[in-house]
Structure formats: structure tokens, C-alpha cells
Amino acid sequence: MRFYLPLLLLGFAFGMQAQDPATVNLRSVAQPNQRVSIYNETAINSTASDFSPSFYGDTLVFCSARHAGPKDPATGESFFDFYFAPIGPNGSLRSPKPFSINLNSAQHEGQSTFDLKANKVYFTRNNTTNGVEPVAADGKIRMKIYEATFGFLDWEQIRPLPFNSDTYNCMHPTLSHDGTFMIFSSNRPGGKGGYDLYVSLKMDGGWSPPMNLGGRINTPGHEFFPFLHQSGTLFFTSDGYKKGYGGYDLYMVEGKGDGSWAEVVNLGEPFNTDADDFGLILDEEGKSGYFSSNREGGVGRDDIYSFDAPEGIQGVVFPDFKTTTIDVFTEEGRRPVSGAEIKIYERVIGSTGNIQYLRLPRASIGMGRDGQAQIDQRSEDLEEPDEVTNSEGKAYIMLDVSKEYRIKVEKRGFFAAEEYYMPSDNRFNRPVGIPLKRDDCITLEGEVKNVETRAPIAGATILIFNQEEQRRVTISSDERGVFKYCLPDGFRFIIVGSLVGFENDTTYLQTVNRRGNRSLGASLALKPLPVVPRSGGFPQSGSYKDTPAPSLGDRSAVEVGSRFLLDNLQFEFASAEILEEAAADLRHLAKLMRENPGMRVELRAYTDCVGGEEYNRKLSLRRAEAARDFLVQLGIKRDRILALGYGELNPVVDCDCDGTGGSVPCTESMHARNRRTEVAIIGK
């Protein structure tokens, strides 16, 4: 199930009117987080630097210089490596361990962010080429952002992102919740100050050129350690705002519904002190998290702190989400459609008052009026769906109750369908049903009539058999004797009409290489079985429907449309096993088919009326398939044989099976005559 963010919170428009940070007024909130509790995580902190936490599943990944090894002259500590600590049920952290052999190197590693869906990590590291740290012209070694993919046992395929440079630093990446864009810190030329925050959009095969977030956020000072929460709130660290507590402070800013930023807010006490406070992360519920600080009373140079905010961090607004079930099915027959692609669009009122439906939560980067980055949600051309229906034709999506959506469903072979939906109107949260109509099919419209009276026959069973895919569908004629179905393009079909008391009728259709006309007609004429007296083994009173096909031995020529009975091929009660002594007719048929290489046959198996209709249909199919398999063993190609099971339809002897029909009660000899296999020649 995927989590969808409203445009109100993800509608980033980076690059509002640039402002001098000396005149930027932070939103004034008196003691905004006074009920927040702060705890030093002594279980993981060391006497060295421990900082920059990030979530990775049920663990916390962070940077530390605790290990023994070469010292960096600039810091006087060991080079920073990644460690991880399991997060306990109450949020407490357990003993940390090194996170990865491959990620931890002889250089510094810094802030990380994870794309769990893609099994990727993005992190900061000193610039290296073939294990060597290139030194720039100014004598400095740069920081770069790298990516890695998790392999069989560890992170692999470590490589720098394309927007890095040997002449400036790129570091501290954070990903959007859906992984479509990254915000990071850099001192690249053209910024507002020392280090600014930039954004890059994930594209096919790489990342877009970064764009500055603009003067609403960036200052002449430094902006570091961004963290993009799934609510759409951006947290970051800065020393460039006038009303700070001293050192580096923690700030937050919300994305507004019109695509602009709200005003930047200092998180205040207890998050900020006169020391350096940085690298905040917040859990999904917005009630707890972690950050770094070198405030007084710590264990080491920099420590990791946890916090509890039972009322949430003031200013972080969460939408009211509800799980919505989308049910996709065929317009005809209401059969579930699996693999249908679903795209979600949110209703948004633009700056001019026009109503738009914009795609969630994808983004694209454009240029704002002040020349700074603007992330635009209008992404109609995106190919990737937001969800795909499962085998039951269902998909589950989290939608904001206060919003209005357009749901678009597409699948190859169907016309696209759209549904406008407001979760608030769905009081009982019922599934949203979306029917799909086929667009690649040939419409079959047929009729079933009595061959003698020309009257329409209602309730006839119509079997549609796809010869290439070996699939069958059963439908019925309506009160007008009419049946309709949508045949997929590019196949050959056998259409069989049947009804108790009538002979079957069969027609053959194909939808291969059709041009123009997208409809087909079919007419099935069923002949009533005659009522004739019988003698020999049957009661003298009563009448029976009996038009037995001629036996195989009567066949002297192969004629398409003719049929005959395999009268020696009998089955035991409830069995599909072919006995050796009953296989002579099949050997004869195989000989006939070898003598006529173009001959194609349909094996029609019937049962008696003992047992349920569905059981008998399946039993007859197994018997027909057993006869087909026997012929295949005799060297006849499978594609020359069609096996169909009709169950107890079209009995040779129409007797009373359960004592309620009023006709002659069935005897075992009658049942034996109805248990039969017929052969129809359908090609030569």
C-alpha cells in the first residue's frame, strides 16, 4: 500500500521572492514546543563525535568517530564511519555496531538517506578516485554525495552522483518520501551564502542539474543537514538567521498549497541552545525523533539526543488519511482486472481561480520568477503508475479525507476510465468501483434458434473456445436468444451452442488480421432430438430422445462437420481412466488422422446424470482430455485435437435421473449409453 501526500504539503515551489536574511522575520511563536522532552541517548553516545542520525527500517544509522584508527588533523578525531543501533519498542536505542564494511572507508562518511523501495542509500563521503583523494587547486579535498545499492550481503555499486564537483562540496542529502527528488547542501558557485540548500530531481538514468531553493530559505550564512519529512515539512540547520539562539539552530518550513513556502520557523527551546544543534529527523507520526548537539552535559564532542513530542512539533500539520479500496473490473461480466495502472490526481485551485487536477506526489523542477528552483506537481506525462491492481482487481491507497481526487485507470486492451472521488462523501468507506470496457476486442453478437421452428432459444449454453490459448468461456443466450461477447484480437475460436433436448451446433470464427469492422455475427441452429420408441433392454412404455452418432467403423471418408461415436470407448462410473480393452477406437482414429494429415477433430465427452452438474462437466472434460492424451501418445500432434467436456448435456437417453422428472427412471444401461465420447471433424 502506498502513502499519498497532498499537494498542500508536497507542493514545493522553491524560489520565492529573494530576501535579505537580515530582514527575514521568523514566524513568532511563544515557546512553540514547551511540552517536548529531550533525552541524551547515552546507550549509543561515545566520548567522540556522534551525530547525523537517519532512519533505516527499525534501526538508526548515524556517524561516529569512536573507532581507533588514523586521525584527521582537521578534527583531531578518527575519520567518521557509519554505525547503526536497533530502535526498541519505546524508542530506546541499543548497543551500536558498524553499519557496513563497504560503506565505511578510510575517508569521512557523512549524512545518509535511504530509498527503501529502490534498495538504495545516498550518503556523504570525501572525494576519492581509485582509492586516492584528489586535492583541488586550493589544496582542499571535497565532499561528494554517493549512492549505493544493497546486494547479497552488503552495499555495492558505490558511485558518485553526477552533479558533484572537485571544486566545491555537495553533502547532507535527504530524499522526498517517494524518492523522486533530493535536497542537499552545497557551496557551489552562485548561491545566496556560504552553503545553500539545493534540489535535484530523479530522472531516468540519473539526476537533474541542481537548483537553489531560493532566498526564502537560504541566507548569506550556512544551511546544512536538511531533512524532508513525509508531511512535506523541511527541517534544516542554519547560522544565517537573525533571531537565533547562538551557534547553529534548527529550523522548519512548510510547503503551502499555492506552491510557495510558508515562513521559516526557529524550533526554539528545548531543541535549540547557545551551542550547535543540527541534524533533526522526525518519525512518520510526528511525535518523536532524534537530533545532534554539542550542548553542555553531553557525553562526547557531539551527541545524539532523542525527543518525545506528545502533541507533535508545532507547525507540522498532518492530513487526515483514509485507506481507499479501488476495485477495477470488466464492464461486461464484472470480472476483476489485474495489472490495471492507477494514477491519482488532486483537485487544486490555481492562483487565477482555475481548477486543476494535478498528479500526486510526483514532481518536476522548473524555473521560478526569481530565477530559483520551483518544484512543479503538474506531471500528466509521467508513465509510472501510483498503484497497480492485484489478482483480485483491487488496489489500496491512502487519500486525504479533506481532498477531492480524479482517479484514472488504464490497462492495455481497455479504454481508459476516470472517476471523480471525494473520500468525505464515502461515509462507510466502500470500495470505489471502476469498470473498464475493452477496446482491442471484436464484438461477437450471435443468436440461437430452433432449426425447425426458427424460434429463438433462451438459456442455451454458449461455449467459446480459444484454440490458441486453450481457454474456454461459457455464457448464455438471453430471452431473445441473443448472446454477446468480446473476442480478443488475433485468435481462432470454436463457438458451440447446446441445450438439453437439442443437438449441439458449432461454428468457427477467427479474429486474425481484421481491419475496419470490429464486430462479428454468429448464428447457431439447434435441432430438437426426436422422441422415438426403443426396444431391447428398455421398458416398452415411455419414450426416449436418442440420435446416436454412427460408429467409427462406419466412416469411409473424412468430411468436415461430420461426427461419429467412439462406441467402444466406455468409462467406469466416476472415472476418466481409459482401459486397454476400450482403446481400439482411439487407435483406429489415430490411423485415420495419420492417413489424413490435415484432419482436425473435436473430442466431445458426455457423462450420465448421476452427480452434480459441475462435477459431471469437469469429469467429462477429464475424459475428453484423457482421450486426447492417448492420441498424442500415438503420435498425433496436440494442436490437431480439441477436447471439450459437456457433462450431462445432450443425453442419448433422456431418462428420469432423480425420480422427479416424470419420465422413465434411468437404469444402468441407460447411464452407460449416455457416458460416451463423440468425434466431430472440424478440419481436413
Domain ranges in the chain? 2-308, 321-436, 441-525, 546-683
Specify the residue for cell string 426396444: 535
Please give the model's pTM, rounded to 2 decimal places: 0.52
Confidence check: pLDDT of 648 > 70: yes
Instruction: Using the predicted structure, report yes or no on whether residue 370 has a pLDDT greater than 60.
Output: no
Write out the three cell numbers for 68. 581507533
Q: Which residue has the cell 576519492?
A: 128
Dist CA 322 CA 590 (whole Å): 63
Rounded (10°) CA dihedral 303, 304, 310, 315: 90
What CATH number should be reported for the domain whose range is 441-525? 2.60.40.1120
User: What's 321-436's CATH class?
Assistant: mainly beta
Question: 546-683: what CATH class?
Answer: alpha beta
The pLDDT of residue 3: 31
Task: Output the pLDDT for position 583.
Answer: 75
The beta strand positions in 75-142, using DSSP E, are 77-78, 81-86, 97-98, 109-115, 120-126
- Of residues 185 and 665, more confidently modeled: 185
Supply the DSSP string of 317-330, one letter for each residue: ----EEEEEEEEEE
* pLDDT score of 130: 46
The more confident residue out of 305 and 418 is 305
Region at 668 (left for phi over 0; alpha for psi -120 to 50; beta for the rest): alpha
pLDDT of residue 618: 80
The predicted model gives 515-544 an average pLDDT of 60
- Is 547 a residue whose pLDDT tops 80? no
Among 36-45, 168-177, 250-259, 377-386, the least confident range: 377-386
Identical fold, 2-308 and 441-525? no
pLDDT at residue 30, as a whole number = 45
Residue with more model confidence, 543 or 115: 115
Inform me whether the pLDDT recorded for 345 exceeds 50: yes
Query: Does pLDDT of 594 surpass 80?
Result: yes
Domain 2-308 fold: Neuraminidase (2.120.10)
- Per-residue pLDDT at 318 exceeds 80: no
**What's the rounded Cα separation, in Å, for the pair 504 and 645?**
13
CA distances from 193 to 72, 187, 217 (A): 27, 8, 11
What is the arithmetic mean of pLDDT over 163-188? Answer: 92
Residue 172 confidence (pLDDT) above 90:
yes
pLDDT band at 101 (very low <50, low <70, confident <90, very high): very high
Cβ atoms of 395 and 389 within 8 Å: the answer is yes
User: What's the pLDDT band for 310 if we cut at 50, 70, 90?
Assistant: confident
Given a cut of 90, whether residue 427 has pLDDT beyond it is: no
Share of the chain above pLDDT 90, in %: 29
Dihedral over alpha carbons 512, 514, 518, 522 (to 10 degrees) = -60
Grid coordinates representing 503 are: 443437438
Residue 56 has pLDDT above 70, yes or no: yes
Going by their DSSP bridges, the two strands 544-545 and 505-510 should be labelled as unpaired
Per-residue pLDDT for 162 more than 70? yes
Helix (H) and strand (E) counts in the chain: 4, 47
Residue 356: its pLDDT value, please? 61
Buried-exposed string 617-644: b where 16+ CB fall within 10 A, e elsewhere: bebbbbbbbbbbebbeeeebeeebbbbb
Confidence of residue 538 (pLDDT cuts 50, 70, 90): very low
Q: Which residue has the cell 458451440?
A: 496
> In this model, does residue 20 exceed pLDDT 50?
no
| Mean pLDDT comparison of 183-187, 188-192, 643-647, highest-scoring range | 183-187
Of the ranges 109-118, 216-225, 312-321, which one carries the lowest mean pLDDT score? 312-321
pLDDT of residue 550: 54
Residue 363 has pLDDT above 60, yes or no: no
pLDDT at position 393, please?
93
- Which is more confidently placed, 652 or 139? 652
Distance CA 585, CA 588 (A): 5
Mean pLDDT of 492-499: 87
| pLDDT given for residue 312 in this prediction | 80
Task: Please state, in angstroms and rounded to a whole number, the distance separating the CA atoms of residues 510 and 378.
Answer: 44
Q: How many CA atoms lie within 13 A of 382 on its CB side?
A: 24
Q: What is the mean pLDDT of residues 172-196?
A: 91
For residue 140, what pLDDT is reported?
66
Q: What pLDDT was estimated at residue 376? A: 52
* Helical segments of 548-667, H only: 584-595, 613-633
**Residue 495: pLDDT above 80?**
yes
Which of the four pLDDT bands, split at 50, 70 and 90, describes residue 315? Answer: low
Asked if pLDDT for residue 39 goes beyond 70, the answer is yes
Angle (CA) 109-112-118 rounded to 5° is 125
Lowest mean pLDDT among 25-29, 47-51, 344-348, 436-440: 25-29
Return the minimum-mean-pLDDT range out of 183-187, 291-295, 496-500: 496-500
Split at pLDDT 50, 70, 90, the class of 579 is low
CA angle 167, 172, 178 (to 5 degrees): 120
Tell me the β-bridge partners of 238: 223, 249
pLDDT of 608 higher than 70: yes
Q: Is the pLDDT of residue 246 over 50?
A: yes
**pLDDT value at 32 more than 50:** yes
Across all residues in the chain, what is the average pLDDT? 79
